Structure 1
Amino acid sequence: MRNQDQISNTIVSMATERGVDKTICPSDVVRALFYKDWRRYMPEVRAAAIELQHAGKVVITQKGEMIDTDHIKGPIRIRIVK
């Protein structure tokens, strides 16, 4: 199992590669790190994304709008901060 730093680094790396005008899906990250049983690790990837948003490194969006990370329901996207 990967640690939280590896997950966070992968999120930042993948989001940076996509660019400031595009987003990534948490499932892209989890599949890159945990190709077997990837769904099991989705909560860890979401938690890392939330920490990164609180640190000001990424923005978590739904339907193109930044969301309150205390009330996430449904699919999210992650964008690197400019």
Structure 2
Amino acid sequence: MIPDVMEIAILEMCRVRGNSSFCPSEIARWLYPEDWRDFMPEVRESMMNLYRDNRISVTQKGVEVDKNFLPKGPVRIQPITKKR
């Protein structure tokens, strides 16, 4: 299986940010600063794949989104904090 560059970037941003949430556009801007808007569909698809695999949290207005649908409008990505 070939690693998904977008998924790796999302997980790396989670690692760097700690518990802070971030916008999916930050991933696209980080990887493709000139044409970042063109890559937003891929970022959002990778985001949802990670979310469905319970590797990240995706919220909209502070509420987790439905894993069965690609959310419309602004969302936030956040790492899932491990409970000890």
Q: Calculate the aligned-residue CA RMSD, in Å.
A: 1.5
Q: Percent identity?
A: 37
Unaligned regions of 5+ residues in structure 1, if any? none
Alignment partners' CA distance in 1, 2:40 and 2:65: 18
Q: Which moved more, 1:26-35 or 1:62-71?
A: 62-71
Q: Which moved more, 1:31-40 or 1:62-71?
A: 62-71
Alignment partners' CA distance in 1, 2:21 and 2:70: 20
Partner AA of 1:60 in structure 2: V
Residue in 2 that maps onto 1:78: 77
Please identify runs of 4+ aligned residues in structure 1 that moved more than 2 A.
Answer: none
Residue in 2 that maps onto 1:31: 29
Q: Mark the structure with the bigger radius of gyration.
A: 2
Residue-by-residue CA offset, 1:35-69 (whole Å, 9 max, x unaligned): 12110100100000000001110011011110114
1:1-82 aligned within 5 A:
5-20=4-19, 22-69=20-67, 70-82=69-81
Q: Normalization by structure 2: what TM-score?
A: 0.86
Aligned residues: 79
